[in-house]
Structure formats: C-alpha cells, structure tokens
Homo-oligomer: A and B are copies of this chain.
C-alpha cells in the first residue's frame, strides 16, 4: 500500500504549468497513539492555492518546494488510535494533495450525518462561508440593490448570486462563455449573466445593470473590475475575497487602472474591504444552519465538477485557474 502525493516541484514564473507539480509515491504513514490515519476521499481545489505556490508570504506561508500541496479534504478514517473515532468515519481535514495523511482529532471536524459529504468542501464549507459572510457582513446588500459577482458559476460566486436573490437584490453574474451564462441564469436563478469574453462586454454589463451596481463581490480583479468601476453607484461596497487575476499578473499588466480605481473610490464614496474567512470562525455555525436550510428548501442550488483520480489534480487546477469548469471543483481521490 503506497501513498501517492503531489508535491510542488518548482515555483511558477508566470502562469502555473504542469511542470510545477510532481507525483511521488511514498510509504503510507503509521499513526501514533492519539492519532488518526486518514484516506482522502475528496480533495478541494481552490484559487487560493495559487498564492501558496509563490515564495511571497501571503496571509499564509507558502508551500515549500518539494512539499505536498495544501488543500482541504473530506477524508475517511482508516485507522483510529484516538478515542471517539472508528474506521469509516468521515471527517473534514487538510490532508492536501495526497491519498493518506496523519491527523490529530483536534485538527479535523466530524461530518456525521452529512448526506453529501463533499459539500463540506463547497457550499457548506469555506467557499460557501466566504460567499455568505462576504456578501452579508461586508457587502451588506439591501433589497432592490444590484449585486454583481464574477466567476459566477464558481464555488463562491454561485452562492453569492443566490444569496443576493434571497435578499431581494438583482443578481448579475459575470462568467466566461455562453454555457456558464445559461447555468447562472437558468439553474442558479441570476437575473442576468454577462460574458467577459464578449467584445461588447462593457455595454452588456451596462445593460444588465440598468440602475448601476451597489455591491461588487470581488473575486477576480483585473480587467473585470476595471469595467465595473464606471457602473458603481454612490456608496457602493466591494468585498474583496480573492484576486485570481493578480496571482498571475505582472505589475501593471492586469488591465486595472489604479488611478481610475482611486478616483472612483473617492467620487462614489466606495468602500473596498478585504476579508479572510478564517478570521470569522465564530460565525460558522450560523452560516451552516442557514445554508443547510436554503439547500433543503431548494433556495440555493449547488453544482459540483468532480474530477476522478488524484493524479488528475494538477490539470484540473490549471483548468480552474483558466475558468474552464462550471461549479465547485473537487477531486475524487
């Protein structure tokens, strides 16, 4: 029995490529007293992982070259040398991109009774919580306002738009390609979805937001934000939860005009607020209860893109950064 693991082979210079990853095999680790041996069932792929591949310290330390890529997982207990756990139990943990890992009970969360355990990596986990906190606590939308979110069919954006609708807002998505636009409107219930690849994107965005934009949930940055700026209403709020475009960008080349951004902030009294969901753990129970109720009632719908096989994780991650998927991306390990 071997442990397959995907390590950071080298730090990307420019866009991430497959050469930045390496699949290794090693012995399966043995749990010590008080520890659990976990087998990864689902691995979450998320844009923040791009930040961890670079040497610059972000809000968390980088992954060392040669170390296993980090990541949240839903894992099954294989061997339990800690009280209260038994083989077959499912837990939320941070095994990273590998088949097996050792964890102490304090580092995992039991997933008893969750009908669809992989949801703990998405709509009921960090991405859903990011959408819920960021929109409601930072964006503070009022009924009748217009909420715009990019990456509208992704794990965070899809939830942002649906919560906006629940709160009586006009929800406008931005996504790449007609398939995503249809999914956003027909399945997720967005009022409109604009294709950022459309040569008339600027005009289409304007038409989709006839009363301007009150909340722009920022999760991509770059050119899209630049196009949003002229549409912002006085007092608009911009929660900033992640900036995919900036991860790949060289200074000055991401299509966002900094002086235009500052002028807009001033002229329209805009509030731009960065947040990291890890700071808000105290709100997690309230989030889970509300989100579970919305899922049960069908008010929130959720799409997963499942990728079979741990070895497919690097390509799936590149596809995620390129926006090639609809829905939350999880690897079935």
Contact = CB atoms under 8 A, between A and B. Distances in A.
Given A59-B267, A265-B240, A279-B269, A245 B259 contact: yes
A323 interface: no
A216 to B, nearest CB: 12
Interface in A116-137: none
A272 B272 contact: yes
Given A59-B267, A274-B267, A274-B270, A262 B279 contact: no
Interface string A223-266: 00100000000000000111101100101101011111111111
A297 interface: no
Interface residues of A, number: 38
B265 A274 contact: yes
B279 A274 contact: no
Chain A binding site: helix, strand, loop or mixed by DSSP? mixed
A312 to B, nearest CB: 29
Interface in A254-296: 254, 256-276, 279
Nearest to A265: B274
Contacts of A266: 59, 240-243, 274, 276
A267 to B, nearest CB: 5
Contacts of A71: none
Contacts of A245: 259
Given A257-B252, A269-B274, A246 B263 contact: yes
Contact of A252 (B218, B258, B267, B272): B258
A51 B264 CA distance: 13
Nearest to A256: B258
A279 to B, nearest CB: 7
A262 B59 CA distance: 13
Contacts of A259: 221-222, 243, 245-246, 249, 251-252, 254, 256
B274 A273 contact: no
- Please name the 8 residue pairs, one residue from A and one from B, whose CB atoms are nearest each other, closest first: A258-B258, A246-B259, A256-B258, A265-B274, A272-B272, A266-B274, A251-B257, A243-B262
30 contacts: A58-B267, A59-B266, A221-B262, A222-B259, A225-B262, A240-B262, A240-B266, A242-B266, A243-B259, A243-B263, A249-B259, A251-B260, A252-B258, A254-B259, A258-B258, A261-B261, A265-B272, A265-B273, A266-B276, A269-B273, A269-B274, A269-B275, A269-B279, A270-B272, A270-B273, A271-B271, A271-B272, A271-B274, A272-B272, A272-B273
